[in-house]
Amino acid sequence: MTDQKYPPSYSQRLSDFIGDSKKETLTVPEVHQLIRDFCALEYKKIKEKSDVIPFGKYRGRSVKVLCSFDRQYVKWLLDKQKLDNYPVIKRDVHKYLKEIDDESKNE
């Protein structure tokens, strides 16, 4: 096995987030609120990250590479409104598809 360091898992990040609450003991409603707060932060991070697809069969892949690699899939995402919750990614997809179209016209 290699000594490759992996980023902390979702569960580990959640555990760390709750542990950072600076309280010795927490009530169930307090834990629920911390989980909701953590989920909101994670969702915001995903929405703001415009360089990778955050879901589906190409999760974690570059948006730009995906646009040139599997154009049909990207168009399907747009047609099915799968990117509507990711406005930055949606904008970039349109930009990259236009760039690819422009390059192919110039060839």
Q: What is the pLDDT of residue 5?
A: 72
For residue 25, give the H/E element and its range.
none
Residues 6+ apart with CB under 8 A from 89: 50, 53, 54, 63, 83
In three-state secondary structure terms, 103 is helix
For the chain, give every domain's residue range. 9-48, 50-107
Confidence of residue 61 (pLDDT cuts 50, 70, 90): confident
Each residue of 25-54: pLDDT tens digit?
Answer: 999 999 999 999 999 988 887 666 668 888
DSSP codes, 42-101: HHHHHHH--SB--SSTTTT-BHHHHHHH-HHHHHHHHHTTTTTT-HHHHHHHHHHHHHHH
**pTM passes above 0.75:** no
